[in-house]
Amino acid sequence: MVKKHKKLHIKKRVQRKEREEIPKITLSKQALTDLITELVGASALPVVEQLQKRRNVSEFTIAEKLKLSINQFRHLIYKLDTFNLVSSTRRKDKQKGWYVYYWTFHPERLEKLYWDLKRRKLARLKKRIGTEQITSFYVCPNKDVRVPLTEAMELNFRCPECGKLLQEDKINLVKKLGSEIEEIEKELKEHSQESK
Ligand SMILES: [Zn+2]
């Protein structure tokens, strides 16, 4: 039986998309850099920089530009893909007969993630400040643990790591947490006004 060769056909849609611009975002360059570094590491920054220039860039083009092996590049791009920050299309290289991936960065997804993480952090800090306000904390002199009073009582005021007597923590975190909360709330408020 003779296998029929499927006629390869490059979608026009892909070519048109290439000319579309990367969407603009309100996130500062610094915030973008910090977030990428935090999520996937600073090694992914040059890749993001290349992808910010245009859409649908061949993996080989970027790898070559950054002097990376194709596997090094793929390792970085998959990390970005984990956070859904990039998308790809694949096309068959007519001469070599293999598939090449073309990548597009989505800064608007990064921006959404940025605000989601901010809101989550705010909720975490609020929960934390609530606990700090209603109970005292006990610390190990060797800084192994810092536990609320009830837990310290369960431990008979002994550090589970080194056995030393726990002491009441005089450092009040309420003020510090309060100013962190205030800062995030201010940023979120400014953002919601910007996007109106
Ligand atoms: Zn200890």
64-81: per-residue pLDDT in tens? 999 999 999 999 999 999
DSSP SS3 for 20: coil
Q: What is the mean pLDDT of the chain?
A: 88
- In this prediction, residue 20 carries a pLDDT of 64
Q: How far is the CA of 158 from the centre of ligand 1 (A)?
A: 8
Q: How far is the CA of 149 from the centre of ligand 1 (A)?
A: 16
Q: What is the pTM of this model?
A: 0.72
Q: How far is the CA of 188 from the centre of ligand 1 (A)?
A: 39
As a residue count, the chain comes to 196
| pLDDT above 80: residue 5 | no
* Annotated domain spans of the chain: 12-105, 115-194
Q: How far is the CA of 172 from the centre of ligand 1 (A)?
A: 20
| pLDDT above 90: residue 93 | no
Distance CA 183, CA 20 (A): 36
- In this prediction, residue 25 carries a pLDDT of 82
Residue 147's closest CA among 129, 127, 168, 164?
168
Average pLDDT over residues 18-24: 66
Distance CA 113, CA 61 (A): 28
Q: How far is the CA of 150 from the centre of ligand 1 (A)?
A: 17
User: What is the percentage of the chain residues whose pLDDT exceeds 90?
Assistant: 72
Q: How far is the CA of 135 from the centre of ligand 1 (A)?
A: 21
pLDDT digits (tens, 9 = 90+) for 135-177: 899 999 999 999 999 999 999 999 999 999 999 998 878 999 9
Which residue in this structure is represented by tokens 């002994």? 158
The residue among 116 and 13 whose pLDDT is bigger is 116
Q: How far is the CA of 173 from the centre of ligand 1 (A)?
A: 21
In CATH, what class is 12-105?
mainly alpha
Q: How far is the CA of 146 from the centre of ligand 1 (A)?
A: 9
Ion ligand 1: residues, CB within 5 A, are 140, 142, 144, 159, 161-162
Average pLDDT over residues 9-36: 71
Q: How far is the CA of 145 from the centre of ligand 1 (A)?
A: 6
- In this prediction, residue 173 carries a pLDDT of 87
- In this prediction, residue 115 carries a pLDDT of 94
